[in-house]
């Protein structure tokens, strides 16, 4: 079974509008972390935002916010006031602890969503 | 200067050749990782290392080997390259001391083409 599922291969948004990129995850661990990364056409991976499973508040970083719904196992990224420079591939990723309780720091990535911002 | 660097940035090689991809970091992190990215598959973990003496296989380690020469250096080798190893390769680092966050910081990537 997929650990991280991003069901939107591609999304389009008008400049200055908000957009939501979907991410659902599968884990039996109680302690885990969810990450979003941006990959522009140049190829580098840029960390955007993090949500811990025990965090009570949804994470926010500037124009990025994470809509965390733990019971539904979803961690959607919301980008407000889209800019042309937001056009990129976006990856959702999850870090789990092992059964022994040691955090290994390994990330499991989804397949990504390509976001295109239109002027 | 970039905190995580990878060399080379682009490489074309032939089937059967041995090649090495190098990663260096100035972040002082103990943990380092190698991933490959294929279109439509996201990133997949090849190897990871929690310190100089600790190296572990990831989900797709066959055909690859690694060497952790120092805290700051982690190299990935393809002993006998094959065309399906054509991919974008990323090195990453993280610091377990940051608690639950432990963000991974990625290098710029190496584009490898195996003919």
State the SS3 of B45-102.
Answer: EEEEEEECCEEEECCCCCCEEEEEEECCEEEEEECCCCHHHCEEEEEEEECHHHCCCC
List Cβ neighbours of A102 (8 Å cut-off, separation of 6 or more).
Answer: none
Helix (H) or strand (E) holding B32: strand B31-38
Would you say A69 and A60 are in contact if contact means Cβ atoms under 8 Å apart? Answer: no
Diameter of chain A measured on Cα atoms: 50
* pLDDT over threshold 80, residue B68: yes
Q: CA-CA distance, A49 to A65, in Å (whole number)?
A: 8
Would you say B47 and B92 are in contact if contact means Cβ atoms under 8 Å apart? Answer: no
Q: Which of residues 18-77 of A touch B (CB under 8 A)?
A: 31, 33, 35, 37, 43-47, 50, 52, 54
pLDDT score recorded for residue A115 = 97
pLDDT score recorded for residue A61 = 94
Question: Closest approach of chain A CAs to the CA of B101, in angstroms?
Answer: 7
**Among A51, A31, A48, A37, which residue's Cα sits nearest to residue A96?**
A31
List Cβ neighbours of B45 (8 Å cut-off, separation of 6 or more).
Answer: A106, A107, B33, B34, B35, B58, B59, B60
A104 in contact with chain B, both atoms CB, cutoff 8 A: yes
pLDDT score recorded for residue B101 = 65
Question: Closest approach of chain B CAs to the CA of A22, in angstroms?
Answer: 15
pLDDT score recorded for residue A80 = 96
pLDDT score recorded for residue A85 = 96
List the single residue in A with minimal CA-CA distance to B50: A104
pLDDT score recorded for residue B99 = 59
Q: CA-CA distance, B6 to B14, in Å (whole number)?
A: 21
pLDDT score recorded for residue A106 = 75
Question: Closest approach of chain A CAs to the CA of B86, in angstroms?
Answer: 15
pLDDT score recorded for residue A103 = 54
Express each pLDDT in B16-41 by its tens digit: 999 999 999 999 998 999 999 997 77
Q: CA-CA distance, B10 to A81, in Å (whole number)?
A: 35
List the single residue in B with minimal CA-CA distance to A36: B103
Show the low-confidence residues of chain A (pLDDT under 50). Answer: 99
Express each pLDDT in B7-18 by its tens digit: 999 999 999 999
Sequence-ordered strand ranges (E) for chain A = 4-5, 10-14, 19-21, 24-25, 32-39, 46-52, 60-61, 64-69, 74-79, 88-97, 103-109, 113-118
């Amino acid at each position: 079974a997929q650990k991280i599922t991003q069901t939107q291969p591609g999304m389009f948004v008008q400049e200055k509008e908000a957009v939501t990129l979907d991410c659902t995850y599968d884990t039996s661990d109680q302690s885990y972390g969810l990450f979003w990364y941006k990959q522009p056409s140049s190829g580098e991976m840029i960390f955007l935002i993090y949500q811990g499973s025990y965090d009570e508040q949804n994470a926010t970083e500037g124009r990025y916010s994470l809509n965390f719904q733990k019971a539904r196992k979803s961690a959607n990224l919301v980008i407000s006031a889209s800019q042309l420079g937001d056009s990129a591939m976006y990856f959702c990723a999850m870090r789990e602890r092992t059964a022994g309780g040691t955090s290994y720091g390994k990330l499991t990535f989804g397949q990504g969503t390509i976001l295109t911002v239109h002027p | 200067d970039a905190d995580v660097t990878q060399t080379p940035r682009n490489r074309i090689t032939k089937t059967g050749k041995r090649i090495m991809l190098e990663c260096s970091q100035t972040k002082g992190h103990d943990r380092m990782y190698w991933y490959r990215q294929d279109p439509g598959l996201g990133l997949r973990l090849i190897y990871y290392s929690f310190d100089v003496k600790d190296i572990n296989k990831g989900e797709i380690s066959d055909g690859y080997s690694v060497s952790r020469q120092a805290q700051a250096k982690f190299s990935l080798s393809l002993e006998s390259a094959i065309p399906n190893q054509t991919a974008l390769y990323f090195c990453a680092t993280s610091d377990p001391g940051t608690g639950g966050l432990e963000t991974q910081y990625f290098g710029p990537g190496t584009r490898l083409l195996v003919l």
